[in-house]
Amino acid sequence: MRTQNPFPSLIPRTCRKIFIPFFIVLSLAGFNYNALSKELPPEQAKILEVLSVYIDTLKSRQATVDELFDKIDFNVGTITEISHIKDRKAKLNEFIDANAELMDARKNAEAMLIAELNKRGVSQKSIDAYIKGYRDGQTEQHALLLKIDITNTQSMEVWLSIMDLLESKWGVWEPYPENFSIQTEDEELIEKFNKFLERTDSIANEQAKYIAELQSQ
């Protein structure tokens, strides 16, 4: 049987876990909200409270994404039962859903911040000034983080396609654990499987550029 391209090198490059500070955490790293809020004028304290809540929301959603990523096994060479495929598909879909929630928090940052500021009775003048500062300082970083999120989802969608392919071709391929891959004589499976792996590599390369750009700022 023909051995498919081994891809141990692709696994760590696919959907990299991102340990990048959030767009505002860098300037507030280690701050004590309760202590600092007592030293600020009321409106500034409310703004800081809203910012703290939003940062916590991002951190929580990112932590969920990272946790779900750790549960995904990308080594097809360990698939010996069809239930293994179904389990991996479920985990991939969980990741995609959680990542969508993370992207939603990023995309709707302004709306979320404004809504919370209004709830706390912050004046429109202060809200406008704060949002302007947010836009001026975070637009490029924000866009890059969203691009990274998007490539994560794209990568997991390709892996879903790989799982669908292996499920549809169940019985015509064998796991090849020594090579982290599969073995088969099915030409259609060989062609599609390798194209999917090439796509994951392409996505990983694209994501690497965004990460490097973000880290250089």
Question: In angstroms, what CA-CA distances link 111 with 16, 49, 140, 202?
Answer: 29, 16, 18, 34
Whose tokens are 């004589």? That residue is: 185
The stretch 172-180 carries a mean pLDDT of 91
Q: Exposed, middle or buried by CB within 10 Å (0-12, 13-18, 19+), for 43?
A: middle
| pLDDT at residue 39 is higher than 70 | no
Q: Distance (Å, rounded) from C-alpha 103 to C-alpha 100?
A: 5
Kindly state the average pLDDT of the residues 90-96. 97
Asked whether residue 128 carries a pLDDT value surpassing 60, the answer given is yes
Residue with the larger pLDDT of the pair 70 and 42? 70
Mean pLDDT of 133-143: 78
Per the model's pLDDT, the better-predicted residue between 3 and 27 turns out to be 3
- How far is it, in rounded angstroms, from Cα 164 to Cα 85? 8
- Can you say how many angstroms the Cα of residue 104 is from the centroid of all Cα atoms in its chain? 12
Choose the weakest-confidence range: 5-14, 86-95, 176-185: 5-14
Q: For residue 34, what are the contacts with CB-CB under 8 A and spacing of at least 6?
A: none
pTM of the model: 0.81
How large is the average pLDDT for residues 122-134? Answer: 87
Report how far residue 203's alpha carbon sits from residue 183's, in angstroms, rounded to the nearest whole number.
25
